[in-house]
Amino acid sequence: AQSVTQLDSQVPVFEEAPVELRCNYSSSVSVYLFWYVQYPNQGLQLLLKYLSGSTLVKGINGFEAEFNKSQTSFHLRKPSVHISDTAEYFCAVSGPNTGNQFYFGTGTSLTVIP
């Protein structure tokens, strides 16, 4: 089975500063990679996904992520955060070898400080 590691459980950052949320996964075989955001008392919303092609993926709300196969990483970045970005962020892995299953990391709580 796949495993997904989000190294930082909490990330505080000042408004308008850049942020990087880290994600590593276990398998080097073909994978699909996702970042989801969860605002308080809501379900998860897709930020971006990598299925194939360009390793730099752009998503909603100014976020982007880079697929690095050699380091089995898919870190999420934003050059300038807003207060409204305060939320929980989840990295997830799926793929042709996982059947229909998605494997989620434990989440990173991003807090943007005014």
Partner 1 sequence: DVKVTQSSRYLVKRTGEKVFLECVQDMDHENMFWYRQDPGLGLRLIYFSYDVKMKEKGDIPEGYSVSREKKERFSLILESASTNQTSMYLCASKTSGNEQFFGPGTRLTVL
Contacting residues toward partner 1, per CB under 8 A: 4, 6, 9, 32, 34, 36, 41-46, 49, 51, 90, 92, 94, 99-102, 104-107
Q: How far is the CB of 36 from partner 1 (least distance, A)?
A: 8
Q: How far is the CB of 114 from partner 1 (least distance, A)?
A: 25
User: In this structure, are residues 78 and 13 in contact, taking their beta carbons and an 8 Å threshold?
Assistant: no
Q: How far is the CB of 88 from partner 1 (least distance, A)?
A: 9
How many C-beta neighbours within 10 Å does residue 97 have? 11
Nearer to partner 1, 99 or 114 (CB): 99
